[in-house]
Amino acid sequence: MEIRVATAADATALARLNAAFNDVHLSPECMAEQLARCSGIEWALMAYNGNEAIGFACLRLIPWLCYSVTYAELTELFVVETFRRRGVATALVAYAERLAHEAGATELRLLTGRDNDAALAFYQTLGYDDDDEMLMIRHL
């Protein structure tokens, strides 16, 4: 298995994985544009088994205006079902943590559903804690 930062050459594979995970259907050209637009702010991390893309994660760096640190956020994590429970998600998170640390982030945050028991168990196994914050959204 290989984990690496996505480039425009990964746009087709990333678009396919994103459609499977988020039901968002972007063309490979649009995905390549998104990768370029987010360069330096958010990275897609790709997991490959040989030439087959089997998962991805997205990592975003976020500076805080009122604090002197930067934090990172894991915004997506997906592994193709036939490759689950083989260490792919763990490898993607470990790569994201390393990249975030190297970029100066002091912590890695993530959001997942309160009822997503599998994800909650997975993240807790990796040492993530529930900090009891609440996400609130107002659509504009």
> Which domains, ranges and CATH numbers included, belong to the chain?
2-125 (3.40.630.30)
pTM of the model: 0.91
What pLDDT sits at residue 134? 75
User: What separation in angstroms does the CA of 84 have from each of 2, 27, 37, 69, 96?
Assistant: 15, 26, 30, 34, 18
Instruction: Look at residue 135 in the predicted model and tell me its pLDDT.
Output: 77
pLDDT at 65: 85
Residues of the chain falling short of pLDDT 70: none
Res 67: pLDDT:
84
Contact 21, 78 (CB under 8 A): yes
Condensed to tens digits (0 to 9), the pLDDT of residues 49-69 reads: 999 999 999 999 988 888 888
Which residues contact residue 54 at a Cβ distance below 8 angstroms, ignoring those fewer than 6 apart? Answer: 1, 47, 48, 79, 80, 83, 88
**Identity at 133, one-letter amino acid code:** E
With tokens 């559903």, the residue in question is: 113
